Structure 1
Amino acid sequence: MRCHICSVVCTSHSELRRHVMTHTGEKPFSCQYCGHRTARKYNLKKHLRTVHDVPLDHIFDEPATPPH
């Protein structure tokens, strides 16, 4: 799969969707404490741990994936 914007090659549809977010600026994951937004769930979890000192066992995975 190839990005229609910059022609980078991705190996899966999900990888391509994540890559396209770098062009669109889409940031579907939001911090419930301060509103910080990020394009990747991993970065939100890291933000919660480092900025708000939320323990790992209090960070829940949401079942939904980023909107299309």
Structure 2
Amino acid sequence: MIHTGERPYKCKVCGYACKNSGHLKTHMMIHTGERPFTCKMCDYACKESGSLKTHMMIHTSERRYRCKVCGYACTCTRSCSLKTRDDAYR
């Protein structure tokens, strides 16, 4: 399946197709509104455990990623990538 591009798991609501049942299960939460992972410190809720783990860094002040240009620290790679890109134009 991986190399053939086959996507046998299909959403009956919108037609979304994916390679494994786990992705389909997560996708279905879009339609049901289910957000099983909840923060114990605030009202944040999400579909995936990784998103909750990243969110928790807000409460712990953990800054795992650092800009190589200026040293700015942030909680996710996207923020760090955007910051590095901005620094490159200075």
TM over 0.5: yes
Query: For residue 11 of structure 1, what is the aligned residue in structure 2?
Result: 19
Select the structure that is richer in strand. 2
Measured after TM superposition, the shift of residue 54 of structure 1 is 5.8
RMSD of aligned Cα (Å): 1.7
1:38 to 32, 40, 46: 46
Matches of 1:19 and 1:54, distance apart in 2: 30
Between the two proteins, what is the percent identity of the paired residues?
Answer: 33
2:53 matched to 1:53? Answer: no
Q: How many residues align?
A: 55
Unaligned runs of 5+ in 2: 1-8, 63-90
Query: TM-score when scaled to structure 1?
Result: 0.71
Q: Which runs of 4+ in 1 moved over 4 A?
A: none
Question: Tell me, what secondary structure is at the counterpart of 1:34?
Answer: coil
Measured after TM superposition, the shift of residue 35 of structure 1 is 3.0
2:30 to 22, 27, 30: 22
Unaligned runs of 5+ in 1: 56-68
Structure number with the bigger relative contact order (C-alpha 8 A, sep ≥ 6) is 1
